[in-house]
Structure formats: C-alpha cells, structure tokens
Amino acid sequence: MLRRSAIPSETTAMTIETLAAPPKPTAQKTARWTTAQARALFELPFADLIFRAQSVHRAHFDANEVQMSTLLSIKTGGCPEDCGYCSQSAHFETGLKATKLMTVEAVKKAAAEAKAGGASRFCMGAAWREPKDRDLDAVCDMVREVKAMGLETCMTLGMLTKPQADRLADAGLDYYNHNIDTGPEYYGKVVTTRTLQDRLDTLEHVRDAGMAVCCGGIVGMGEERDDRIGMLVTLANLPVPPESVPINALMKIKGTPLGESAAIDGIEFARTIAAARIMMPSSVVRLSAGREHMSEELQALCFLAGANSIFIGARLLTTANPAKEKDDALWAKLGVRPMEV
C-alpha cells in the first residue's frame, strides 16, 4: 500500500499537467511554448519530469528502440566561421589538418561499412560556411549513392541558398542539419561570423524545398539554464518543429575558446533531454556528441528521458565516439534494439 505522502495531491498533479503540457496547437505564428512554460518543465521535481517525458515518448515511439546513425566528415577543417567550440575553424590552432572533399567512391565505401555496422542513417558533414555551387554535383551524387543503399541520408554543409536546397532535395536528401547551437541570448558568445537569423533562413530554405529539418544545439559551453531554455523554445516554436533534434554535450577541444568550459551536470543534461522530448514530442531526440565522456548510467537516464538516436562508429567528424564493443554491451544491458527507418 502506498503511503499517503507518496501519492501526489490533486494540486500537485494539476500543477504537473498544467506546466508540463504544451498549449493546444495554434496558428504557426503563435508560440507553442513560452519561456515560462519551458522553465516550469525544468523546475519540476526530477521524477515528475522524467515520468512526463517517458509518457510522451511512449505515446510517439517504441521506448526500447534507438536509431543508430553514423556521421562522416566528407570535408574537414579550414572553415572560415569562428564557432567557439569547433576544431575545424580556421580561426583557432587545434592541430587539425584540413582536407579536400572526399570522392563519391570513398563516401560510398564508408556508408557501406556503416550499414554493415548497424547504422540505418548516414550523415555527412563538410566544414564550409556554405557550399559552392561547383561542389554540389559531387555532394548530390553522394546523396544518391548512399540513399540507393537503403540508408536514411542527412547532410550538414553550412548555410544554403534556396536553389542549393532545391538541388539537394531533388537528389533525394532526407534531412538537412543546421544547428542553432544555443539560445538567442548566448548566441553571440559562441559565434560571431553568422547570425542566428542566418541559420533560421537556411532552415526555411530546407523546409521550403521539402526536406526534413535536423536542428538542435550544444550544451556545456558555459551557458546558463535560461540559455538552454531559450534554445529549446526557439526550436519548438519554429513554423514546424524539427523532425530531428540533436542535443550535444560539448566535446572540449584544446585551442578553441570554449575548450575550457565547465562540464554540464549530468542531471541537468538529462533535464534538457526530457524537456526537448516533451516540447517536441514527435521529433527524434538525438543523444549526439559527448557520449564518449558519459557513464553508462547517464546514457541510460537520457534514454529514459526520451532520447532515441545515437551515433555509432569510432569518430564523430573530428572527435572520438564510444567503441562498438562498448556500445553493444550497453544495448545488451538495457534491452535496446535498433530502430528501423
């Protein structure tokens, strides 16, 4: 028998439902989530927040399925942007050697290896401010070849013009990734070479071209909780919320301005995952960079909070990722199975 004190009072239950539930759908120009509502989620007792997130998750996904993705850097380093977290920026001395765009055949080989390793989604990233039109022929060929293997395709190439977005869509690209990185108030402390509006403009071109949007951010860059709230509110209030929401924990790179940032607390990170799940219930929430430094327990907590995609493989663009054997052992402990596209 439950002790009376263990049963939420009517007032407590109403508070949880009122503050943790999104408003009813409204016109696109009206905010689905206010900052106050999002902050109320973060301030819920942890057990209540996780319960709410898990309930939302189960209403939209199989709670024991996680999408396995692989991320390949198809062109590394030499980027003119000054993103303070990035080893590929030409502004910082990180010891990273710049490379040219990979050949289509090399990308095909990597995609085949990723599929053999259990990936159902293949993501390709190039360190550009924006792609040049002359590069799009090869990039579009990569999309066609990878898609022909039966893999879900995603690319991140920087900012896009509308014609460039249309070309990628015509090639069959499923998702385009373009993260907003952080909340509006903290954005200028992360990058100065392009604005938040620049990023939103690219997302609009992607959406108008008919591709799905992959957009999230990075936590642990010295931001406050309100900045994480601002990031999620911005994402949730896009005309259509992103179908894919990567939440990255900062990978500290020596030589970058944000490389000495204090690590985010694990419970706070799980709260961020849970809030993302509740605020964007039908989106795939991706536990992206940073797993290499997370305990099995923290990763399990993130899955419980609603994360349902991870990257597999030894590398994430330029940083380390857990080894396959380590991941396989964790999936066995948790009873996790790969999500089918």
pLDDT at res. 241:
96
Task: Indicate the DSSP class of residue 79.
Answer: B
Q: Which helix (H) or strand (E) holds 296?
A: helix 296-304
Six-digit token string for 113: 């290896």
pLDDT reported for residue 25: 40
Rounded CA separation 99/77 (Å): 6
What was the pLDDT predicted at 320?
Answer: 61
CA distances for 248 relative to 24, 310, 331, angstroms: 29, 10, 20
Q: In 34-83, which residue ranges form alpha helices assigned H by DSSP?
A: 35-42, 46-60
Torsion of CA 268, 269, 273, 275, to 10 degrees: 20
- pLDDT score at 53: 97
In the predicted model, residues of the chain with pLDDT beneath 50 are 1-27
**Separation between Cα atoms, residue 242 and residue 233, nearest integer Å:** 12
pLDDT number for residue 4: 32
Q: Are 279 and 251 in contact (CB under 8 A)?
A: no
Instruction: Return the ∠ at Cα 162 (arms to 158 and 163), rounded to 5°.
Output: 105
Whole-angstrom distance between the N-terminal and C-terminal Cα of the chain? 43
Give pLDDT, residue 263: 87
Q: The whole model's pTM is what? A: 0.88
Closest to 125 (Cα-Cα) out of 189, 161, 164, 175: 175
Would you name the residues annotated as active-site residues? 79, 83, 86, 123, 154, 214, 286
> What is the dihedral angle through the alpha carbons of 2, 3, 6, 10, rounded to the nearest 10 degrees?
90
Task: Supply 211's token pair.
Answer: 């591709």
Residue 175 parent element (H or E): strand 175-177
